[in-house]
Amino acid sequence: MNPNDVFRGFMEAGNDYADKNGAADLLEGTLKTLKAKLTLDAKNLEGCSMVEAENHALASEQYRKALCDAVESRTAANRAKVRYQATQALWEAQRTVEATSRAAMRSAT
């Protein structure tokens, strides 16, 4: 295993995870802001209580779509994390195989 290839694989998987995790964090963070905006809009338009306005916000298509987008983004980030951890596990396994091989060669001589 070429160390430069391993380094590139780690960097690609790590950067992919970092990008997707950041995007998921951003989408999840904007859900509260969107909920507040939709709640206030419903309150002003409907003239209802805050609880009713919040229910309108949570039931809105816009909030549902934002929630679905956040979940999809988190799923992509989790998959990228798995790829990164798998790359790491493969590297560790390869190191173990090579160390075992070296030890076997030493004991055979």
DSSP letter string, 67-109: HHHHHHHHHHHHHHHHHHHHHHHHHHHHHHHHHHHHHHHHHH-
Does residue 29 carry a pLDDT above 90?
yes
Does residue 107 carry a pLDDT above 80?
yes
pTM confidence score: 0.78
Distance of alpha carbon 94 from alpha carbon 89, whole angstroms: 9
Number of structural domains the chain divides into:
1
> How many Cβ atoms are within 10 Å of 52's Cβ, its own excluded?
14
Does residue 109 carry a pLDDT above 80?
no
Structural domain boundaries enclosing 98: 3-108
Among all chains, which residue has been given the structure tokens 């949570």? 58
Residue 47 is classified by DSSP as -
pLDDT of amino acid 1: 65
